[in-house]
Chains A and B, each alone.
Chain A
């Protein structure tokens, strides 16, 4: 009897900070409980609907989609999409209410309800004015609300629902609803509000509610759940609750069954490039061959075969429109002089190269097209475009204008709880001391999942000293809310384009930054067959544009550039500047672009965890023989000395050794790079071995080959992606070598980017013989610029100056400043800006003393209206540091400290460079970027650089030392450290193996810092 019931009022975690369960969890539970249908009705959202329907289809459950609507006057109705038109109607309704209401408080207007079609409205419950009226026996108000709805929606599309969720007043509510149902001829049905999947999810739902309301756990609030009944009750429980009215249960089941699942997962909703697919294919063919002739001149039969092969697959899979569209965007950008380059696996395609989408010659490099696109995996190809960050929005605007605002939107991401955000949010709810919350949050490694807090507590020495017991509830709660979406945000570069108006697919909302976003994430968008473009901002392109605006490609194989890279002097070079890369280069001794492609791919978790870096280097240097587990591997792995470095090689090995079809091999790669559960890996390993044996490979050999692939089973680059990055790396290294003043000036101007803080880049520029000229209001621009072999620092670099820099430069453009008085007269600056300019030396050009200038201002003796100012802040040393540190770095700490450090036996980083291997040494410096990359053994190895006034030395700290001293390295803020260790030299690289470290307290630095610079 109760089998026909279906839950029609169900909320998932996409009812942000309300619902506790993922849509998939709810569907799986419904299936487990024996339901055959389920609706999802998140609050003012359908963001969970795609994954909900996908999971429901996989379990044979009928999925209905709707939303829990809040109206402008405080009413609440549940709307279910009965038909496809109903779903479109719902999307329009949600879009209008999100865009027309304050953010986070979307409201549906009564007027909007006049235009809805194909929807069923469920009215009842205590939420909203209707229920409130019935609970206070205000029948007239309840009638009024119902009449208003009936004026807009036909009676047969309305149900009044009864809830028996263990709340006070339910009887009263039920009586009122039944009375109105009889009066208006509206059919009653049973409903149960679901906010958490199982009963024990109640406390998480309650915590999330507190987070949303911004109240502590001890506070009372009417929106907090009173009991734990709002879970997905079983058919038996619902049958028991409504045993006196089984027809209400049946009615609920019928309503859900009547609602059509809204999504057609097989559809392709790409915008049409031309009249039809054939026409797009013809245009694509023409443009590809034009491009091929431009790139290659004469077309060899092999090249034509390759192009035809790619075109055939692209056309068969229906992606001709997509390629034309991407090529058009690239064309738009290039015509306007914006630097743009394709990255990712698109660089495996000769077609993409010919169209100008990528700059990597996939044909000459022998890249595998199937890594990018193949028949068995008919997913949308992934073409990411890197665009000079200054123009990325202009390119995006072009896409909006070209396809229309109704058809184009930014893709959303769902911001989730990670360790730091969970600690901060939960800490407030649990009323833990604010400073302790902050201390704990900052000690969590960046990006650590919230459910890893407990593990981190045990493993990370920097968390010692904090009582886990005291934080027990927080840790437990963080584990439960880990990964749950907390709000919607804008995807970094994702734009979705559709043939249909997007309102027919999903609602749009406004992000915190005011961008209109489609309320579906990138996986959902792809599932629904919408076209997704990644238009990414890349600052490196802006640097190259500034340095060499007219040069697209720098000269190949420049010896000087490669020599510099080979010495590991790559600070400021794209992708090659991390300590690991700098340590790699002297061993690699690169001489051509291919070597850089390998370098980019080598320092990735895949090759590192697969222990491939060592064998690669030994074989490359001739210290170890290049061997292959099977002769068929030689053609695939020869270029990487027999080790697996690229994703393409995984596919090729699977194809050649085990006879996998291209699509199967790609699936293997995906299992290896994404899923990687032991079960999945073992299953695919068995398949690999079986197939390889069938092709005559010995079982032991097949197993060994699979072990080699499995060793790689983590995130690694595709060769195409590595090649695209290597080209940029080479270009940046080339300009850093040949025009360091211009290059580092551009690099400083476009911060933040790269691996190092500004002062490290300044030090590197100096190291390359570039003089650093201070910012000066009489000559500096906003940005840094080259002055001969020097860099004139820009005014924009000085912390706190902000837009005033533009004002100064603008005013100087009219007429030079002839004196400080003239400057003060013509540029009216806030006093903090004046102070910052003064402290940074930007007013030194006028010849006055910095302290004198500040004091003048303080005393009101200046000429620019500060006479009344009496609260001019004391120019403290920390203030001095703040305004000058971005440029000066550790110099400001260590130069005055040096005599003291020398007396204590500390060497400088420069002195370390001259020490022999094994030499015990003491160094003091600021730690830069300490990080703990994954290792094959699972043991912690910490890498960081130690920087003083003479430069950097790279340091490595192994597990036992880390456990003793890690807490002093991973601090909330940068502290100078004293380090004891031994010098390690290996194949031309130098590092310091840390044996002991301790912080040098800032207070003692303040004591030795002389009162100068002002």
Chain B
């Protein structure tokens, strides 16, 4: 199961690949990038392209982070239970 969200987060991503991110005062370190892809939002509403990372944190959490290439910010888009 997973929960879909669209929450702005601060991400440490040297060379574009997330290494750690902060969510609600908690810092998560990335252990493994499981998959990565690109997707385009609702282009007819002017939404841009996201680079999405499915990753596993050192605590064993499974998340999806997306970098919005138009807005230039990171979003937490999915949290797996």
Contact = CB atoms under 8 A, between A and B. Distances in A.
Given A166-B38, A169-B35, A203 B49 contact: no
26 contacts: A166-B37, A167-B37, A168-B37, A168-B52, A168-B54, A169-B37, A170-B37, A171-B35, A172-B35, A202-B40, A203-B43, A206-B40, A206-B43, A225-B40, A226-B37, A226-B40, A227-B38, A227-B39, A227-B40, A227-B49, A228-B38, A228-B40, A228-B49, A229-B38, A430-B44, A473-B44
Contacts of B35: 168-172
B62 to A, nearest CB: 14
B44 A202 contact: no
Interface of A: 166-172, 202-203, 206, 217, 225-229, 430, 473
A475 to B, nearest CB: 13
A167 B49 CA distance: 13
Interface string B31-72: 000010111100110000100101000000000000000000
**A-side interface mostly:** loop
A226 B39 contact: yes
B15 to A, nearest CB: 14
A166 B36 CA distance: 7
Contacts of B43: 202-203, 206
Nearest to B43: A203
Nearest to A430: B44
7 closest Cβ contacts across the A-B interface? A166-B38, A227-B38, A168-B37, A226-B39, A203-B43, A227-B39, A166-B37
Nearest to A167: B37
Nearest to A224: B40
Contacts of A228: 38, 40, 49
A547 B43 CA distance: 63
A167 to B, nearest CB: 5
A227 B44 contact: no
Nearest to A203: B43
Nearest to A477: B44
Nearest to B54: A168
A172 B43 CA distance: 28
**B-side interface mostly:** strand
Contacts of B44: 203, 217, 430, 473
A166 B49 CA distance: 11
Contacts of A227: 37-40, 49
Contacts of A168: 35, 37, 52, 54
Contacts of A171: 35
Contacts of A226: 37-40
Contacts of B40: 202, 206, 225-228
Contacts of A217: 44
Contacts of B54: 168
Contacts of A166: 37-38
Contacts of A206: 40, 43
Given A171-B35, A227-B37, 15 more contacts: A166-B38, A167-B37, A168-B37, A168-B54, A170-B35, A170-B37, A202-B43, A206-B43, A217-B44, A225-B40, A226-B40, A228-B38, A228-B40, A228-B49, A473-B44
A162 B49 CA distance: 23
A308 B69 CA distance: 74
B46 to A, nearest CB: 11
A127 to B, nearest CB: 16
A203 B43 CA distance: 7
Nearest to A228: B40
A338 B57 CA distance: 83
Nearest to A169: B35
Contacts of B49: 227-228
A203 B42 CA distance: 10
Contacts of B52: 168
Nearest to B52: A168
A225 B39 CA distance: 9
A203 B39 CA distance: 12
A937 B52 CA distance: 57
A67 to B, nearest CB: 28
B60 to A, nearest CB: 20
A494 B40 CA distance: 44
A202 B35 CA distance: 23
A202 B54 CA distance: 24
Contacts of A172: 35
A229 B49 CA distance: 10
A266 B37 CA distance: 47
A217 to B, nearest CB: 6
A169 B52 CA distance: 12
A387 to B, nearest CB: 50
A177 B31 CA distance: 26
A430 B44 CA distance: 10
B11 to A, nearest CB: 19
A973 to B, nearest CB: 33
Contacts of A430: 44
Nearest to B64: A168
Contacts of A225: 40
A623 B35 CA distance: 85
A460 B52 CA distance: 47
B19 to A, nearest CB: 19
Contacts of A169: 35, 37
Contacts of A170: 35, 37
Contacts of A203: 43-44
A225 B41 CA distance: 11
A226 B38 CA distance: 8
B42 to A, nearest CB: 8
A715 to B, nearest CB: 39
A244 to B, nearest CB: 15
Contacts of B38: 166, 226-229
A171 B32 CA distance: 14
A203 B38 CA distance: 15
B48 to A, nearest CB: 10
Contacts of A473: 44
B53 to A, nearest CB: 10
B36 to A, nearest CB: 8
A473 B42 CA distance: 13
A229 B40 CA distance: 10
Nearest to B37: A168
Contacts of A229: 38
Contacts of A202: 40, 43
A624 to B, nearest CB: 60
Q: Which of A168, A172, A217 has the most CB of B within 10 A?
A: A168
A432 to B, nearest CB: 12
A802 to B, nearest CB: 45
A480 to B, nearest CB: 13
B68 to A, nearest CB: 13
A226 to B, nearest CB: 5
Nearest to B34: A171
A169 B43 CA distance: 23
B76 to A, nearest CB: 17
